[in-house]
């Protein structure tokens, strides 16, 4: 199955979201039913987190939640604006280029937020838990690669 570069980047961004979502803690996972929540619960369950760690992870995620939601809303609006510009009968190349750069900037901002969340998570986990989490994420990446091919190069 062939996917265009946008889809591959979307899947790459989804991988970052999974890593950041691990910081959500069990409270977030229980509030969000479905496959995604089961994945978070499964990852956290493999780490044998103490209640104190769970509380810290949940607090860390909750502190970033408004900022992430605002970023998500902005990113969605910017993607829709880009799609609207490209769907025009005679798209303005400068406007399409500027909108594309804005979408890219949003993606980079999400990556930065997820990296911050991952750093915060690493500060909460023990070295053994960090190693176990890295193994879990590596297995997920390998599974994704076997299904979709390697992720696109980072921009």
Task: Give residue 23's pLDDT.
Answer: 40
pLDDT mean over 1-8: 53
pLDDT mean over 36-62: 77
Q: pLDDT > 90: what percent of the chain?
A: 27
The answer, yes or no, to whether residue 16 has pLDDT greater than 50, is no
| Structural domain spans, the chain | 5-144
20-34, 66-80, 136-150, range with greatest mean pLDDT: 66-80
pLDDT band at 96 (very low <50, low <70, confident <90, very high): very high
Q: Is 14 exposed, middle or buried (0-12, 13-18, 19+ CB in 10 A)?
A: middle
The answer, yes or no, to whether residue 137 has pLDDT greater than 50, is yes
The answer, yes or no, to whether residue 93 has pLDDT greater than 90, is yes
pLDDT mean over 137-154: 76
The answer, yes or no, to whether residue 94 has pLDDT greater than 90, is yes
Query: Residues 6 or more apart from 58 whose CB is under 8 A from it?
Result: 24, 25, 26, 27, 28
The answer, yes or no, to whether residue 111 has pLDDT greater than 70, is yes
Nearest alpha carbon to residue 124 among 32, 35, 34, 61: 61
Mutual orientation of helices 93-124 and 51-87 as an angle, nearest 10°?
170
The answer, yes or no, to whether residue 82 has pLDDT greater than 90, is yes
The answer, yes or no, to whether residue 27 has pLDDT greater than 70, is no
3-state secondary structure at position 91? coil
């Amino acid at each position: 199955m062939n996917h265009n570069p946008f889809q591959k980047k979307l899947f790459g961004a989804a991988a970052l979201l999974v890593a950041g979502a691990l910081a959500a803690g069990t409270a977030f996972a229980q509030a969000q039913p479905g496959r995604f929540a089961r994945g978070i619960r499964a990852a956290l369950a493999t780490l044998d987190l103490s209640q104190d760690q769970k509380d810290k992870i949940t607090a860390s995620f909750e502190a970033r939640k408004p900022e992430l939601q605002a970023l998500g809303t902005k990113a969605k609006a910017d993607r829709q604006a880009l799609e609207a510009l490209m769907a025009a009968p005679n798209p303005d190349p400068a406007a399409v280029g500027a909108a594309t750069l804005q979408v890219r900037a949003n993606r980079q901002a999400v990556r930065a937020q997820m990296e911050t969340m991952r750093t915060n998570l690493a500060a909460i986990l023990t070295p053994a838990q960090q190693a176990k989490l890295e193994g879990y994420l590596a297995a997920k990446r390998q599974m994704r690669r076997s299904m979709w091919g390697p992720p696109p190069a980072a921009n």
